[in-house]
Structure formats: structure tokens, C-alpha cells
Copies of this chain bind each other. A is one copy, B any other.
Amino acid sequence: MRRSEISAPSQAQGDADRPAHDHSGDALPAGPFAGRDISGLGRDLREGRVTAEGLVRLTLDAVAEINPAVNAFVHVDPAGALAAARRADAELAEGIDRGPLHGLPVAVKDIIMVAGLPVTMGSRHFTGHVPDEDARCVAHLRRAGAVIIGTTVTHQFAYGPTGDRSASGPARNPHDRRRMTGGSSGGSAAAVAAGIVPLAVGTDTGGSVRIPAALCGVAGFKPAYGTIPADGVFPLSRTLDHVGLLAATPRDCLIAYRTLTADVTPNAGPPTGDTRNAAHLASAHPAAARPRAAWLDPDGLFSCDPRVAATVRAFVESATGPLEEVSLAPDVVRDLGEAYVAIQSSETAAVHATRLAQAPDLFDAEVLERLRGATEMPGWRYVLAMEARPRLAEAVGALFARHEVLALPTVPITAPPIGTREVELHGAPAAVRAALLSYTSMWNVLGLPALSIPAGTLDGLPVALHLITRPLQEDSLFSLLEDPHEFHQALDLT
């Protein structure tokens, strides 16, 4: 499985302001995890067809060969990963099975603390910064037997949905390396999309997991607020920050989510070749019929490229049949948007107040300009936004009276070229940042679970379906497109 057809010159590190080289004509080799899923990898591991160490070596080779073209990784930890993989192999040999993620390589966004690895937030403010402690989600990953392979490019301080402004240079979309990954978890999305890792962790404050997942053609899951703890994640906006997961398929996101949110107890019995450790989780979610979904009119939120809307709607309706259409009142949409901006701006400007005063020059120029704008958000708007949330939650809650799931595109456009800040939509100019966030950020205000699912391509670029539900209804996001019987059987992960 080693890949030698390195197709792109090794130009990825560097400043975002440097002109992007044109790699679009080059074919990107498929990474070792392309077309693989977590269940299959688990079976291979437990049936001896592969070892955790072998998976790490495949990953390291792929990083060497593919990463220069996509700039997904900031830092890779071969020694640490190999050591962790050997421990995972030894445990399996001794009959200690930590569940579905045992022995699998995982990448972590460069804004989530990993003890002993440089974590830079994509900014020169943190050059050489090595945390002492794992973020809680990283500690959970390790306890579940996952192997931390390295850190992935984030838009600087996670403050941007384009993924192309970082001290580590822009992440590049594996589908067209002239194009942005979306962000801010752009490196995590690119690493999964390129098949370098089967799973990556990201953060999502306004769409930062789902947007790059959508633009890169992988699945991205933002769980309900707080379900994966954000301790040890560098804050962007604590009220809105979520930890999320990116993988090739929704089902892999669900497996990882359940593993990270379960109190995983290592199975001390003999290696059985399965991963039933997670089965007790499934039992908490009784089998059900296919959830009822509604199509949420995207143009009621923000102008949608009509081809994107048509592709995504056809994709979901091919599984569900024709969907009833619902919409949100314009004042609710406006208030959700204003609340998002007021909360995010105030909290982000607070996070960076000292750096803005003492080391403004270390910021990326665009990030600096946006932060300076954020400092001008008045406090009373923040207070009103925080107070508005119960009323807005009630208004959105009414949409769930007759449906469990809302469906719409994840983003209204396909990935624009890196550095682009304006596109045309319905014949009018639209700001790229506003467009990218327009279908995702509102759900962060309310803390609702949301999933982005690859829904096909347009001109070779991925488009994605976005599903939203209420807390404790997360299963419905994952089962909507599946055969209910097959889905619930699969949840046993046998």
C-alpha cells in the first residue's frame, strides 16, 4: 500500500500570503485509508491482517507522500505514534480491547492540546508551544486506544471558515488543491479526505467541522453542546465552541462519538475479533422507524447555488422520498445571525484582548483585521444575544414538532479558490465567509447536533447534506439515509 507517485511539488508550509502554486492538474494519490471504514479496520486488526504499528507506518508514509500536496498536517509524531501503536498491539495480544478506536491512527486539530506535541493554534504567538496536558477529548481518545498521529492545520485561532489563513499555510482541498478546504478544521478534513487517517478531531464554533467536511467530501459531526468536553481546547467562543469529528462516513463519526462519550472500560476478555464494547451504547438507542425529516428552505437563510440545492435535495430524497418543506420566520433567522455574531465577536475579542494589545503583529493580517472589528461589538448586544437564546430555541423547536430532522445543504456553494473572499450567487456578489457560515452557525447558537454528509459532486467538487436534530436524538442524523433494520444491526458493530 505504499504510495510513491508523489504528484505535487512539496510546497505547503509557508505564509498564507504567498501566492498559491497551481497543483490542480496533478492527480493526488489515494491514501491508505481511502475507502476503509473503522469497523473494517477493527476487524482486520483483530483478525491479524494488520497491526496498529502497521497502520501507523501506512499513515506516516502517506503523510510523507501526500501531505506536501494538501498541507493537512502541522506536526507529525512518528515516535509517539509508533510507541502508542505498539502498546495497542500488545494490549490486543494480551486480550485487552479498548473498543472500536483501539489501534487506529487519529489526527487532532492544531488547537486541541496534545501533551508533548507542539500546538500552535495556527499562529506565531504559539510557535514552540508544547502543552503539558492532553485536552479531555485527547485523553479520551488515548483511553479508547486511539493512536495520536499528529496535529492538523487550523485557520488561525479557528477564526475563519475558509481554512486558508494560518502560520502553517493554507490547507488545500484534495479535490482541487487550488481550492480552499473550508475551515477552520481544514487540515482535519483534508487529512481524512486524502485518506491519510480514518478519523480526525476538529472544533466547530460556527461550522468549523461541517464546512470543511462538506467542501472536502467527508462526513463531519458537531454533537450537541458540551457532549464532547471542550476542556483543553483553545477557545474561540466558549458559548459556541463544540468539539466534533471528521471521518469518511457518518457511521464512523457515530462510532467515534459514542466511544468518546462513553465511559469506556477495557474489555479484559480474550480478543474476540469484534468490538462489542460499544454495543452497550447502542442499546441505549432503541430501534426505530426511519426518522421524519423536513427540507428546510435554504434560500430563506442565504442565497443557495441552485445546483447545490438541487443536488443535495435529490440526494436526500433518493433515500427518504419527497420531503415536506419547512422554513424559519425571517426575524428568527435574523436574530439567530445577530446572536451568533454578537456572542462570537465579544467572546473572541475577549480571548485575544491581551495579544491584540501586546503582539498584534504576530496575527495574520486578515485575522487581525477581523479581531479588531470584533472588539467593537457593544456589550449590550452580547447581553441581549445571550438572553435571546431561549426564545430562539423555542422558535426553532417548533420546527421539530412534526419532524425529527431538518435537512438542507451544509454550504450554499462548492469550494472557492484559496484566498477568494467574494463569489457570485444568483447573479449577485456574496461574501465567502458569510456564505460558508450561513447554514451552520445558527445551530451553534442553540447547541443542536448537526451532521454533514457527502452528497455528491458538482464539477468534481463535493457538495454536502446537512442534517440537524435535537439533543438526545442524534441517532436520527445517522439513520435517516439508512435502512432502519440494517442500521440498528450495524450499531452492534459486529
Can you name 30 A-B residue pairings with CB atoms under 8 Å?
A345-B380, A346-B379, A346-B380, A346-B383, A347-B379, A347-B380, A347-B383, A349-B378, A349-B379, A349-B383, A350-B379, A350-B380, A350-B381, A350-B383, A350-B384, A350-B387, A353-B380, A353-B384, A374-B380, A375-B378, A375-B380, A376-B378, A377-B378, A377-B379, A377-B380, A379-B379, A379-B381, A379-B382, A382-B382, A382-B383
A376 to chain B, nearest CB (A): 7
**Residues of B contacting A350 with CB < 8 Å?**
379-381, 383-384, 387
**Residues of B contacting A141 with CB < 8 Å?**
none
Render A139-152 as a binary contact track against B, CB cut-off 8 A, 1 for contact: 00000000000000
A350 to B378, CA, bound (A): 10
A342 on the B face (CB < 8 A): yes
Report how many residues on chain A are interfacial, defined by Cβ distance under 8 Å: 20
A363 to chain B, nearest CB (A): 15
Which residues of chain A from 314 to 364 have a CB within 8 Å of any chain B CB?
342, 345-350, 353
Beyond A347-B380, A349-B378, A349-B380: 13 further Cβ-contacts under 8 Å? A342-B379, A345-B379, A346-B382, A346-B383, A347-B379, A347-B383, A350-B379, A350-B384, A374-B380, A375-B380, A377-B380, A378-B379, A379-B379
A205 to chain B, nearest CB (A): 14
**Residues of B contacting A381 with CB < 8 Å?**
350, 379
**Residues of B contacting A378 with CB < 8 Å?**
346, 349, 375-379
A387 to chain B: closest residue by CB: B350
Which residues of chain A from 378 to 403 have a CB within 8 Å of any chain B CB?
378-384, 387
A96 to B350, CA, bound (A): 56
A346 to chain B: closest residue by CB: B379
**Residues of B contacting A383 with CB < 8 Å?**
346-347, 349-350, 382
A342 to chain B: closest residue by CB: B379
Give 10 nearest A-B pairs by CB, closest first: A346-B379, A349-B380, A350-B383, A379-B382, A350-B380, A377-B379, A379-B379, A350-B384, A346-B383, A347-B383
**Residues of B contacting A353 with CB < 8 Å?**
380, 384
A346 to B382, CA, bound (A): 8
A75 to B379, CA, bound (A): 35
A346 to B346, CA, bound (A): 12
A345 to B383, CA, bound (A): 10
A244 to chain B, nearest CB (A): 23
A343 to chain B: closest residue by CB: B379
A184 to chain B, nearest CB (A): 20
A280 to B203, CA, bound (A): 53
**Residues of B contacting A345 with CB < 8 Å?**
379-380
**Residues of B contacting A376 with CB < 8 Å?**
378
**Residues of B contacting A377 with CB < 8 Å?**
378-380
A387 to B282, CA, bound (A): 38
A385 to chain B, nearest CB (A): 9
**Residues of B contacting A346 with CB < 8 Å?**
378-380, 382-383
A374 to B349, CA, bound (A): 19
**Residues of B contacting A380 with CB < 8 Å?**
345-350, 353, 374-375, 377
A381 to B350, CA, bound (A): 7
Most B CB atoms within 10 A — which of A345, A350, A374?
A350
**Residues of B contacting A375 with CB < 8 Å?**
378, 380
A383 to B380, CA, bound (A): 11
A348 to B350, CA, bound (A): 20
Which residues of chain A from 107 to 149 have a CB within 8 Å of any chain B CB?
none
A367 to chain B, nearest CB (A): 15
A379 to chain B, nearest CB (A): 3
A384 to chain B: closest residue by CB: B350
Most B CB atoms within 10 A — which of A378, A379, A380, A382?
A379
A340 to chain B, nearest CB (A): 13
